[in-house]
Structure 1
């Protein structure tokens, strides 16, 4: 018997009502077999008793007895299946905490691979096989394993929640649509699932875009701080250099003034010291003579006085000091003259600085004149223009309107952003063009490669094929490099020149009126056609209604 049982398949032991392996199999008078509970429930509440398989009707309710032969065969099959499951359990994963276990496994629970929404049972690989091989079970809906399958049943009607009521925003069963949700907008659960999933996808994309925008803004703030620091460091360095030189000059002038004054003072002191020394010597000689005269005058003996008076030294010649003076030198005007000389020196330094600045401006003007020689005649391509853009008839002006037009969404067109490219493209050499941006509060200019993304979200940076500069919020100028670079432009340009050297890998932007370089992208690698890029940006309620205008170059001698 055991050998023969090996030839049986599970299909032979399945109840056609529950589609599961027989439990207490019974036979009807027509010879078909069912689970005793299944056929009993099938007949309960009926007047006519029929066979679910052949539809034969019995006049009276048949008395059911367990089919012992089938029962034994099912028992052997269950034992064989359990042994097979046990032998393969080592190869399958045992259910771990947090994983959904197989509801059929006895003893060690294996990890469920699928859950059946019809049977409301989760199956491991072994117990899932009937749902893969049996025709009737193949129609059951399988999903990734989930716990609490009972939660997928309607608590009120004990039916599968397979529909969604849009009015009440809740999952319902088939009976709910007939009773509680009658006339409501009800759709299949999968349809609402797909719609919600699409909404979540859009929400996720929007959130990612918001994150990206904030990261770019964060990077922009960091760049602004870094640019401010660089500008401050540069100005401080220049200030230190200029004022250090100024202080050194002042120090030299001060030393020279104090030296002159001290030299005059020393000469005066030297002259006075000579006079003082001479007077002191004369006073000493006179005091000695006075002492000798005083000594002789004390003699009482006439003869002795007369004999010794001849020994009295002759009086030294007396210098007339009446007209001798020590005249203090005049210091008046010394500081004033020194300051005046310092002023002249500073004026010379200022003149040199102005000459250096003028030379720099002349060099910039010469550089601008050089690149202006590569001027090209451009016209805007309407096939690339976003739906809200208005182009002039001559293809030289473009601005953003308040209304979007219904135009063909051809591959060349930018579907979302107010961007337009020129008809002309360049794949070698040098080219230059000028665009008037006067009166605009938002704009973008530059060049783009042919293969850029023109549909959906766009990131303006070289790795995505864009070399551009932009104005935002009237005074926020940035170069859209790998990371946004804040540009210090005060005042902002009214006309911007764009120069490209294809082989050199250079894209430069100029303030035409100031003849000043705004920014350069260097070391670029161009392998495709390049198109001039124009972005007039949002109309902003009329604040940014001025057009971008492709202007002819005004050559000067």
Structure 2
């Protein structure tokens, strides 16, 4: 039987052919995994009829149903060489190339093995020498402690890993939980918004229905009054052609009847502005609020910009009005310092109640070829509001007359949304939309603009950007 004394018994057994009980020569393996020498296997095939029976596991294999096992062959070939090397150097230390002596000591400086002759050649200041066997034994005594510490650290890492995986699972569960909460909250919000929208629409219908009924009553009264006037006119015309005595006989009664009709003043039509406050809209767009300051260099003649650049008023001296291609007659204009090109922006402006004014945005050009504004014209009893715009798609200034009437100063909110092409104006005090321009294509930077009328009192006629 072959022997490999430098190997463990289990490894030795794995390198021996089960048939010849010697080291493998050209080993081959069956499908069951057991290995034999090729010559032993072929000899066994000649002596026995097919199919072959594996001597190790008893599995029946077909003839030639085996493959060469190169890895076992290489191991079996290297084992004798290792054994010869061990016979030359039983302790595995190797020999010194200079003195041809076995290296049995360890140089303390470089931790390399040297022979006894090399150690005697060391000077008085030579590093401390240690026997290899003793150094190895010392190191072996230390290794268990290191292994013990490594095991502790490994257990700690394993616990941390398990804890981390548990936290990850918990995080994923929390994310799913929060997603469900968000979906539920938004669904509830949509439900509330739909209910609020239906309520607002119903309020508008009620306001419209009430005004329609009132106007219908006024129309019916005017129709009756008109018919009564026609009747009196016909009666008077008939009286006028009567003889003198007949005319004078009924004159007092005729005058009395007509006086009562003449004293009935016809009722004028009066439409009230339909307003439906939506508080949530102001809170929603307020998160896009930006800081706006005025640019004194762009202020028209007669305008005075405050030191904090947040307010503009008309000076005592009148200047010439700015007329940039129509739409700004009798107005002094000043632009903001900031410009916007691709974002959502919102700002609020306190407007006066005793003069004309104009707010909006315009592109940055010397002639203001593109602008979208809300203009208030002072009519003596309040403001008539107009939406005025001009863009590269329009040949002339577009004007939508009479949006509503305002009788006092109030706060205007301007919302600019480049993504949706949206420019809207809000009545902040009453919390409702005044007007939004139809969806447009906004290109190029736009600046906020502010205008004050050239006519009217100087006092209490300032535009102030709200903080």
- Which TM-score band applies after superposition, normalised by the shorter structure? 0.3 to 0.5
Q: TM-score, normalised by structure 2?
A: 0.36
Q: Per chain length, whose mean CA-contact separation is higher, i.e. which structure has more relative contact order (CA < 8 Å, sep 6+)?
A: 2
More strand by share: 2
Q: TM-score, normalised by structure 1?
A: 0.31
